[in-house]
Amino acid sequence: MSSKTKLQQRKRDFEITFRSEHGERVLKHLIRSNHILEPTFSTDPIQSAFNEGRRNAVLEIMSVLHYRPEDFMQLADNSEINDE
């Protein structure tokens, strides 16, 4: 399989996964729980690196799905997930 075909397949996989009703709920949870809308800084440099890694994973999903930064706030604000 060529690199271009692999990228196209990955994009389709992400869209099938995260554009569904269930996937959007999961994505909203990931945005809210992985430092997308808050600083990753910690006085412990290892914790900061860990926080940044979690954030980066969600940003990759958002990038593949072509979300823009302004979409992040809207997704988080419209979240129906109960944090309790």
Q: Using a pLDDT cut of 90, give the percent of the chain over it.
A: 79
Identify which of 51, 31, 30 has the alpha carbon closest to the alpha carbon of residue 39: 51
Please tell me the predicted confidence (pLDDT) of residue 79. Answer: 58
**pLDDT 10s digit of each residue in the chain, 84 long?**
899 999 999 999 999 999 999 999 999 999 999 999 999 999 999 999 999 999 999 999 999 999 998 888 888 776 554 544
3-state secondary structure of 11: helix
How far is CA 49 from each of CA 4, 14, 22, 25, 82, rounded to the nearest angstrom? 31, 25, 29, 26, 27
> Do 7 and 38 form a contact (C-beta atoms < 8 A)?
no
Mean pLDDT for the chain overall? 90
